[in-house]
Amino acid sequence: MATYIVGDLHGQIHILEGLLSKVSFSPGRDHLIAVGDVIDRGENTGELLRFLFAGARDGWFSSVKGNHEEVLLRHLKNPKSHLLCVDSEFGGKKTLEALSRTSERKEIINWIESWPLFLEKSGRIIVHGGLPSIQGSRMGDTELCDKRLEPITGYHACLWFRPPKLCPSYDGRTIISGHSIVPQAGSVQDGIILVDTGCYRTGKLSAIRLEDMLIFEYQGIPK
């Protein structure tokens, strides 16, 4: 049994399939965890969501929320607000269109809503952006994820943090995050590993295997 933590997917189902095939991923044996930002930007978000929704039902897939999922959910609740969702660079229009075409629209939206802000797995913490901290006292703390909101947008800060705001967990556990594109997945500072190699524009998707912390890469062509 192996657990793979995969970087931001942004609709790139064919690149994910390439990676899963490369690591001989077995749905009956292995588990896949996404660091969020599964949706938007790519051409195949709908197909990817249906594939992963089936994977969640079959027990081999889970994900934490990314900032793109948060914006989508807020926009769906109030389509006149959170217009960042339909911004051309943010890329949410494709997700909205894909959702409108799928018969499982409601089930998939409810499922995305259920994704947690962070996951704790094998002594590591998986969060899309980074763990919040209290200035001058407590460093990164999962308990603050739900409480720390961006002052203007009201979005969860832990889904938007980027370096240099990233800090290690106060309890010494390693954090695995996406959101900030790095040329090579791996440790950026003590206790922080970044896995997003920007596959929606670079074609390179990376994953880390929790059991031995080995990094795997697959190079595809983004669509």
How many residues are there in the chain? 223
Mask of contacts with Mn ion, 163-202, x by CB under 5 A?
----------------x-----------------------
Q: Which of 211, 214, 128, 203 is nearest to 166 (CA)?
A: 128
Q: Are 220 and 203 in contact (CB under 8 A)?
A: yes
Which parts of 47-66 interact with Mn ion (CB under 5 A)?
66
Quick note: the x/- pattern for Mn ion over 28-47, rule CB under 5 A, is: ---------x----------
Residue number, 8 or 141, with CB nearest to Mn ion: 8
Query: Would you count residue 10 as binding Mn ion (CB under 5 A)?
Result: no
Q: Which CB atom, from 66 or from 132, has the smaller least distance to Mn ion?
A: 66
Pick the closer one to Mn ion by CB: 41 or 179: 179
* 75 scored as a contact of Mn ion (CB under 5 A): no
Pick the closer one to Mn ion by CB: 31 or 179.
179
Q: Residue 175 pairs with which residues in a beta bridge? A: 125, 192
Burial 21-55 (b: 16+ CB within 10 A, else e): eebebeeeebbbbbbbbbbbbbbbbbebbbebbeb
Cβ proximity to Mn ion: between 167 and 194 the closer is: 194
- Residue of closest CB approach to Mn ion: 179
Distance in Å, CB of 186 to Mn ion, minimum: 18
Per rule CB under 5 A, count of chain residues that contact Mn ion: 4
At closest approach, how far in Å is the CB of 38 from Mn ion?
A: 10
Q: Number of H helices and number of E strands within the chain?
A: 6, 10
User: Which residue, 82 or 179, has its beta carbon nearer to Mn ion?
Assistant: 179
List the one residue from 67, 133, 177, 206 that touches Mn ion (CB under 5 A).
67
CA nearest to 70, candidates 56, 81, 55, 85: 85
Sign of CA dihedral 182, 44, 67, 37: negative
Question: Among residue numbers 122 through 151, which ones bind Mn ion (CB under 5 A)?
Answer: none
Residue 3: which of 195, 199, 222, 201 has the closest Cα? 195
Which of helix, strand or coil describes residue 81?
coil
Q: What angle do CA 38, 164, 3 make, to 5 degrees?
A: 40
69 touches Mn ion (CB under 5 A) = no
Interface residues toward Mn ion, by CB under 5 A:
37, 66-67, 179
